[in-house]
Amino acid sequence: MSDNKYLAIGDIHGCARSLEALLDKLAGYNNRQFIFVGDYIDRGPDSRGVIDLLLDFRKQADCIFLRGNHEQMLLDAIEYGETNMWLSNGGRETLESYQSDDHEIDLSKEHLEFYQTTRLYYDTPDYFFVHAGISPAKTIEQCLEDEELIKEFLWERSHLNAFDTPWEKTLVFGHTPRPFPIRRNKMLGIDTGCVYDSLGYGKLTAVLLPEVEFVQQVCLDK
């Protein structure tokens, strides 16, 4: 185990007030590297506000921003006009936060560059950070050699049903909401459904690594 210390934050989904409150709770940890696992936008009320917060926060902390499937859907809508899937999965709320309509997405240059420069993964000596997951049948090294498997880092869920994996290190991911963080052998899932008003969900979760200590904020955006 290396001496590196990290702080990973799960899916935010437009919950700007919850994110701001969680970052306040984490104010004493700015000496760590912060890894945000994606899905900053959609479904919640203030996607634009979330990105504004993240752009400001990266001025005071070392941040890695991963791409979620929702950021990919937004980029596909902008680049290819593929709006239907995005709009039916929470994109309308994002458009409203930017005061845009279904036919034109009005982003500032800074926000567009933020979305475009998000990463598909972040590899460290002890952890592999992705948005959704990776193939449970391949090593991490094998996944990184296959461009199609890398694309699935945004969507993968099959690892959640795997009894064992050949991974070289612990996978840290979001994407699949659970009432509690997923903590299994070589798996650490931190999407606790901040945007969902269902029993047991409605929390934004951060995890301190390597301690595996969780810090949570109850959703303030409902």
Query: How many whole angstroms separate alpha carbon 25 and alpha carbon 19?
Result: 10
Give me the catalytic one of 13, 70, 111, 159: 70
Residue 70 annotated to the active site: yes
Burial class (CB in 10 A: 0-12, 13-18, 19+), 215: middle
Count Cα atoms within 13 angstroms, Cβ side, for 56.
Answer: 10
DSSP state at residue 208: E
In the sheet that holds 62-65, the strands lie side by side as 62-65, 33-36, 6-9, 203-209, 213-218
The separation between the first and the last C-alpha atoms of the chain, rounded to the nearest angstrom, is: 40
Active-site residue list: 70
